[in-house]
Structures are given as C-alpha cells and as structure tokens.
Amino acid sequence: MKILGHRGAAGTAPENTLISFDKGLELGVDGFEFDVQLSRDREVVVIHDERVDRTSDGTGWVKDYSLKELKSLNFGVGFKTYAPIPTLEELLEMLQDKSLIINVEIKTGLIEYPGIVAQVAGLLEKYNVTKQSIISSFEHRTIVEVIKDFPDLKTGLLYECGLISPWLYAQDMGASHLHPHYAFISPELVRECNLRGIGVNTWTVNEEWEIERAIVSGTDIAITNYPERFSHLRSE
C-alpha cells in the first residue's frame, strides 16, 4: 500500500504549508494529498477551506484576497509558528524531482473557480509531474472536465456516502480511481474496481482500526495525517 500525507503531515504541522510537506518528507511518504483554490488574482493556492479563518490569523474568502494579501497572513498560528500560504507552483517546485504521488484535490464544491482545472493541469505539466499526479474532487463535474480536456491525468472521484455500485459510476465516467472515505471501503468495492481497472484510494486514515480496514479491503493508497504511524506498510 502507498501512504500519502494528508495536507502535508497535518497531524503534526500546519496543514497545507511547506512546513507540513517538509515534515511529511521527513516522516517518509509515497506522496501527498493537498487542496487547491484560486485567489482573486487567479493564483492557484494550497488551502483546504474556502475561507482563511480556521487556519490563519485572517478572515474572509480566499477568492477575495490577492496572492499578496494572502501571503501577509500567517497559516502557522495553530502550531504557534509562522507559515505562509504556498502557491501550487511553490509546492511543485519543492516536490518536482522526488518521484512522489501528487494528489491535487480541486475544491470546486462551494465556489466554481472557472478555469482552475486548466491552470492546475498546466502547472503539473510545467513541472513535469503529470504522470505521477491524480486530480481528485468531490465535485464530479470537475472530474469530467479533467477526463475530457486532460486525458493524461489520473482522476479520483471523492465521496463519503454509501453509493450503489460506484465502480459502474466510475467506469461510465471514465475515472481512473475512486476516492471513498474509509467508512465506505470493502473488499467487494476493491474487487469490483480492480476487475474494471479502477484504483481505490481512501482517506483520512489516522487510527490503527482505520488502516486495518484499508488493509483488509486492499486499497492502493491510504491518505493520513500521521504518515509516521503507517510507514512500515509502504510497499513498491
């Protein structure tokens, strides 16, 4: 199984900041999952929420801030440190030569961010990491756009509910992966997906019994806030 750091190594460092990705590298990961949104001046920035309030000392919507304004905020406050928001470009610069799995979650659920797919795909291409990247989203219309416009990219359909035959849904759409919450994984799911050449990656697996579920089900990837807890499970 491959182990990806969630938002870097969000259990022990300020999520989605370069400190967090550094920490993940130090702890040993096969790759990272992180989230992206667009600033007012259309920079792709690495941040989970649509608003800056929970993770920084600022307040308001990411979409209303210019990159310069976002850079003036501190995203390390929860860990009593200083950590600026990274752009996708800065993060890819850091990760580009490391042969890591790069799972970019595009947060188009609440805000549409027209054009974000092309921008993300363009940056992955620029840093020569397209082949090792997976684009995921809870907004499945975003995944359809990726499949249509950037067929070289792998795609992950995120969900956290009990779907009926999700392998048929993914197959019909042409998605390469399902990305279920761990509550919705099972050996049957993985078997049915694998029969169709569809991969299964699960999240956010932090406790022993959660990883046990992933092992028993046979998922390809487990995404965790604590890569150090599961590094012994990493395999080629």
Provide, rounded to whole angstroms, the least separation between the CB of residue 152 and Mg ion.
Answer: 22
Which CB atom, from 51 or from 69, has the smaller least distance to ligand G3P?
A: 51
Nearest-angstrom CA–CA distance, 87 and 104: 12
Contact (CB, 8 A) for 97 and 127 = no
By CB under 6 A, name the binding residues for ligand G3P.
6, 33, 35, 48, 105, 136, 158, 179, 203-204, 223
CA-based nearest residue to 166, from 201, 215, 117, 206:
201
Which CB atom, from 105 or from 228, has the smaller least distance to ligand G3P?
A: 105
Nearest-angstrom CA–CA distance, 223 and 90: 22
Residue 16 touches which of Mg ion, ligand G3P, none (CB < 5 to 8 A by kind)? none
The interface with Mg ion within residues 152-211 (CB under 5 A) comprises none
Provide, rounded to whole angstroms, the least separation between the CB of residue 75 and ligand G3P.
Answer: 16
Residue 136 touches which of ligand G3P, Mg ion, none (CB < 5 to 8 A by kind)? ligand G3P
Contact (CB, 8 A) for 62 and 38 = yes
Q: Does 105 bind Mg ion (CB under 5 A)?
A: yes
Question: Any catalytic annotation for residue 179?
Answer: no
- Listed in sequence order, the DSSP H helices in 112-186 are 116-126, 140-149, 166-173
Which CB atom, from 183 or from 195, has the smaller least distance to ligand G3P?
A: 183
Residues whose CB falls within 8 Å of the CB of residue 30, separated by 6 or more in sequence, listed in order: 2, 3, 4, 100, 101, 221, 234
Q: Does 15 bind Mg ion (CB under 5 A)?
A: no
Provide, rounded to whole angstroms, the least separation between the CB of residue 99 and ligand G3P.
Answer: 21
Nearest-angstrom CA–CA distance, 137 and 190: 19
DSSP 8-state secondary structure symbol assigned to residue 99:
-
Nearest-angstrom CA–CA distance, 87 and 162: 34
Provide, rounded to whole angstroms, the least separation between the CB of residue 68 and ligand G3P.
Answer: 26
Question: Any catalytic annotation for residue 48?
Answer: yes
The interface with Mg ion within residues 20-39 (CB under 5 A) comprises 35
Residues forming contacts to Mg ion in the complex (CB under 5 A) are 35, 105
**What residues are labeled active site?**
6, 48
